[in-house]
Amino acid sequence: MRQYYKNAYAEYRIEAGILFLYYTTRCLSLQIATKVVQDRLRFQIDTPYPIYCDVREIIDSTKEARDYLLQEGSALTRAIAFRIDKGLTENMLKFYLLHREPHIASRYFYEKDPAIAFLKKYREPKQ
């Protein structure tokens, strides 16, 4: 299984039982959200992971993209920690967290280390 993948909108890496997803796009459209989720699912090869999702690059998103991520974006996700900056991404994430799948542990963080600590509880036991 490969440990790294990159497309035009995001970078994906698996390390110590956690999937790291870094968005590299400024605007999130339905087309981009669909591509990011489809590529993530292929990259995971049917294995669920806790996900560190860095959304600090995103400054705008369409309603269709947000709706798609709420409906389809949590597939094969054990837990998700969003890395954000204060301001716009914080406001977008608060909305997302209010409407997400309730059975998936989700939180947002301003720093990487607390996010990783949160996700470690959701790794496979062997990690």
Is 49 inside any structural domain?
yes
DSSP for 28-42, please give it: E-HHHHHHHHHHHHH
Is 1 inside any structural domain?
no
Over 80: is that where the pLDDT of 62 sits? yes
Is 21 inside any structural domain?
yes
Is 2 inside any structural domain?
no
Is 39 inside any structural domain?
yes
Here the CATH number for the domain that contains residue 59 is 3.30.750.24
For residue 86, the enclosing domain spans 8-120
Over 80: is that where the pLDDT of 125 sits? no
User: pTM of the entire structure?
Assistant: 0.90
Split at pLDDT 50, 70, 90, the class of 87 is confident
Is 106 inside any structural domain?
yes
Give the span between the Cα atoms of 3 and 93, in whole angstroms: 27
Q: How many structural domains are present in the chain?
A: 1
Give the span between the Cα atoms of 10 and 13, in whole angstroms: 10
How many of the other CB atoms lie within 10 Å of CB of 100? 17
Buried b (16+ CB within 10 A) or exposed e, 37-58: bebbeebbeeeebbbbbbbebb
